[in-house]
A and B are shown apart, each in its own frame.
Chain A
């Protein structure tokens, strides 16, 4: 017992040599070890703050830092490259973000439409077999253009077209037009995604607008009446705006197929319902006919003889298919005929 006491006393003396690491606080301080943060809600001592400010602040901060360090030293540690590293927990203090949390990518007009209609993207093959060229041709990318050039080395000039017109150039123009249209649609998708309110081809001011834009603006404005500009007066030699994407801007210029048909609405709807409700099962007509024929033939075979029914023993009842059960070599043999003899051996 003496030894134990001695050791304990020695340790006590050792500890007394050092200053303590414990701190007493009236209210507990709030720690956020993840961001090395400590908030001390205890009241400050006004008297000390006035008379001995710097020393008081130093002591106060020292105590709070000690508390923070105590909890940091308790964290699980790791040794990385000769130094001891404490793993910090997730910080509890939430700091504001710089930008919003990113949401899902907005759908393009086509993607939205395809989703509504349930249209799935079909994957194109990288190469398809071309019958005229008699070889495999890439559908896109490397050497696709070469293959096309090879295939369409000559182009037909239709009868109603000026024979001097360059059909190759026409084809290139058509393609360029498509590319431009696609680009405009891409831009429109971006505008839609950003939810920017933009005028649909209005007047942009004298500095910005080109003559083409002005013409577009006039055309759009004229057709923006209740009667889509039908009764608007025309100036002599007035031009209509033309070009890619202009038609979409002019109200009434691009008509959609009307949903109103010659039949009255009620009838159309009734037909639709009928077609859904009176669905009949599908029949394989040929198969059904062959079965029927077989039946008839069997009946003809069995009926005139009227031999009476076979004894229903064992695996009998094969009358449907006709013929007897193979006899497994026990029956009469026809020497000239070659028949499968015996049961099938495995």
Chain B
């Protein structure tokens, strides 16, 4: 690899290292809490990469939804369930099967991303946020609405499950 030419490149590499390190630590550590924090670091670093790739909106949404939402939710669930917090994770059943599944999935994703041609898309639109908004409520309206329906269904499902427990 050639020497980094400017601050952006150097930051890109730095974020990449943090992301890879965070992801690795998240699966290696036996403390569930540390795993979640590492996941948060990984997600934040990915948001940094998005920002450097001129995808400001995606970067902020990444922080909003994943770091401020999902990670907080995981911490919240972990702390309310309590058992996993102070004790290391118990060994899972059939670790060989799990490892085989995880490795083959990871290898598949890696192979796919290395062999897929990613053509350059050309110039960015002047106002990317504007273009994104128009696409979401225009050409992509059906998928956008469908995601909304799926989320609504999951919320209702969660409510039903919680209510059953109480009876």
On whether the two chains bind one another, the answer is no
